[in-house]
Amino acid sequence: MARHRPKHKKNALGVPFLLDERLSVPVVLCVVVLLIPFFELGMVNACYPDMRNIYYYIRLICISTIVLLYLVKGEKDALSVSSIALCLVMLISTCINGGSLRFAFINEWVSMAAMALLAAWAFRVNFTSFLWAVMIFSTALSAANALSIVAFPEGTYATQYTPLGDHFLYGHRNAFYQFIFLSVGVSWLLDAWKGKRFSARTGAIFLLGLIQVGAAYSATTTIALALAVVLGFLVQFMPWRRVLNGLVLVGLYFGLFAAIVIFRINEVFAPVIEDVFQRNATLTGRTAIWDAVIQRMDSEHLLLGYGASGKTVIAGSGLEFPHPHNELLTYLNCGGIAGLACFVAVLVLVGWSLFKIRNVLVSGVLCSLVSAFLVVSLTESVLHPSLMLALAIAWYASKKIRGQAGRSRTEDR
């Protein structure tokens, strides 16, 4: 007699429940612990400089653990391989240009690749527990940072370039998006996965982010969060999900990059930028930085760039900036055409995967999460593990849904 196999039930939004993935406390704790050293607390580093070395060595231990987990039971697929390829390009470029492997390469490029490998491992082990771990960790970080703003409304420390009021527990106010977007986006993703369009939990986490954005105003984060919320509302409806899919999202990103960085459409909207967002048409001097990056890409560095520690940019005014203030230019500057091609490949892979599940709400929520990071990356260098973590979540969530949908169709026959 043939053995009866229970069918995968589907929720109201057409996504199979993860009946085979009950919450695993050990997996949740493991992921939370592994994430801790990748989100350095700016206040600790500023007040206790020796902590940076401690963070570095703990991060090395966590990276080694993640690589081992990936090799033993990680999903070897296009995304994980592309992230490794990107890391190798930056390694080669850094070595050629005599850059720092200890901090710039390990803390940035290897750390970003590690997030993709961690998600690849979780995909095989228990992806639901992985999502809960990311949400719990990022929400805890968001809550702690919000408390620091309430306790020290005038700021916690100053730096050479920015005043006291710009820094709190996590660091500079422009960096808060790194956990705000993840906490809200992953909570919303878990809602959609279980048949809910929105939950009180997600609303509370979103309010927590709003408190920080409102108290320590960041124009870029505010714009990105507002657009993500609008997109998240639109994709609640099927027609909009089909139009605002992953491929359209990636295409719009490249189009905005060309319009703003290359053709300077921001100069056309100077009145809006200056009157509404209280910024000048040069986007606080970013246009000069972009020009400097493009001009320095000579024939010697066009293919592989200047390496992981070569992202410092000297603008025409003679001022020095720690990065190009644009994600695509950061990859071009550090990794040349090869590095930029690897990152573009990651974006296209994620966009295509989301396009394949464009009929379900999960795809729309993931588009909203990814779009928030991409909007910030137009005027900032999002060279942080949170970006790759968001992209990996989008890739593996869509892959999980496609796999379960395939099993569900097979069992229905």
Q: Residue 5 pLDDT > 50, yes or no?
A: no
CA distance readout (Å), 382 to 23, 65, 195: 31, 24, 32
Q: CA angle 115-120-306, nearest 5°?
A: 40
Arithmetic mean of pLDDT over the chain: 87
Q: What is the mean pLDDT of residues 144-165?
A: 87
* pLDDT score, position 139: 98
Cα gap 231→233, rounded to integer Å? 5
Question: What is the C-alpha separation between 283 and 326, in angstroms, rounded?
Answer: 12
**Sign of the Cα pseudo-torsion (55, 58, 64, 68, in order):** negative
Closest to 390 (Cα-Cα) out of 23, 198, 112: 112
Report which DSSP code applies to 11. Answer: -
List pLDDT tens digits, range 196-245: 888 999 999 999 999 999 888 888 899 899 999 999 899 888 888 889 89
Lowest-confidence segment of 32-36, 123-127, 223-227, 264-268 by average pLDDT: 264-268
Strand, helix or coil for residue 10? strand
Name the one residue in this structure whose structure tokens are 């569900």: 408
The answer to whether 276 and 312 have CB atoms below 8 angstroms apart is: no
pTM: 0.91
pLDDT at res. 273: 62
Residue 402: both structure tokens together: 């496609």
403 — pLDDT class (breaks 50, 70, 90) = confident
Ordered DSSP codes for 72-116: HH---SHHHHHHHHHHHHHHHHHHHTT--IIIIIIIIIIHHHHHH
- Composition of the chain by helix, strand, coil, percent to 5: 70, 0, 30
311, 47, 326: which is closest to 167 by C-alpha? 47
C-alpha separations of 329 from 69, 105, 297 in Å: 32, 17, 10
Q: Measure the CA–CA gap between 303 and 283, rounded to whole angstroms.
A: 29
pLDDT tens figures, 314-366: 766 667 778 888 999 999 999 999 999 999 999 999 999 999 999 888 999 99
Q: Which two tokens stand for residue 42?
A: 């700016």
pLDDT, residue 284, reads: 72
CA distances from 227 to 166, 206, 223, 365 (A): 23, 14, 6, 12
pLDDT at 412 over 60: no
Distance CA 27, CA 7 (A): 26
**344 closest CA partner among 299, 377, 309:** 377
CA atoms of 71 and 80, how far apart (whole Å): 11
Is a pLDDT exceeding 80 seen at residue 285?
Answer: no
pLDDT at 20: 53
